[in-house]
Amino acid sequence: MGISREYRHLMSDAQTSGEKVKLGQTALSYAKRAVAINPNDPEAQLALAISCGKLEPFGTNREKFDSISIVKNAAQKVIKLDPGNDLAWHIMGLWHENLAEVNPVQRAMAQVAFGRLPNSTYEEAAQCFQKAISLDPNRLMHYIELGRLYAKMGRNDEARRLINTGLGMQNTEKDDPETKRQGKELLAKLP
């Protein structure tokens, strides 16, 4: 799990897509090994969900489709084993958000090629991010991601409030500077 996390951190620092994919695949490989050794370890399941999610943007359509169930199953297993794990709730929020954004044409194409996609809503995503905040109110990514979601929902005042809360927090995670950059970009575009 720790090894998988280190490769994910290296992935964030990599300059090219090829480097990111190679490091992400190594992170995923270590996460899968950890799950195989102890499938009831919430940290191993969390590493699997995160590693798979980090690789998703670089995958083929088939790999993206397959990652939907892997991420969901791993995150749900974490929640079952450790209901207080804020990161698992955050992952479920992203999962719901991403599926809510799939348009009907994309859904039809996916169904023809790979099978039916699960349905989801922004409201379900928001509930997961809210749960993550309640479990760890000191993790800035929860606030900024919920703010970004609210912006997509047209709830601009709430989006501003949440993003500003996240921006005002101290960096504690590897990805916090990037998360803040994205939050600042979105704030500048909000009406």
Percent of the chain predicted with pLDDT > 70: 99
Look up residue 45 and give its two tokens.
Answer: 């399941």
Residue 48, Cβ density class (10 Å: 0-12 exposed, 13-18 middle, ≥19 buried) = buried
Look up residue 83 and give its two tokens.
Answer: 């209901």
173: left (phi over 0), alpha (psi -120 to 50) or beta: beta
Query: Rounded to whole angstroms, how far apart are CA atoms 4 and 29?
Result: 8
> What contacts 60, CB < 8 A, 6 or more positions away?
none
pLDDT at 62 over 80: yes
Give the per-residue pLDDT at 118: 85
Question: CATH second-level architecture of 2-136?
Answer: Alpha Horseshoe (1.25)
pLDDT in tens, 135-171: 999 999 999 999 999 999 999 999 999 999 999 999 9
pLDDT in tens, 2-15: 899 999 999 988 99
Domain ranges of the chain: 2-136
For 102, phi then psi, to 5°, come to -75, 120
- Which pTM value belongs to this model? 0.92
Measured CA angle at 181 (ends 106, 78), to 5 deg: 60
pLDDT in tens, 74-123: 999 999 999 999 999 999 999 999 999 988 888 787 777 777 788 899 99
Residues in the chain: 191
Give the per-residue pLDDT at 116: 79
Within 10 angstroms of residue 87's Cβ, the number of other Cβ atoms is 21
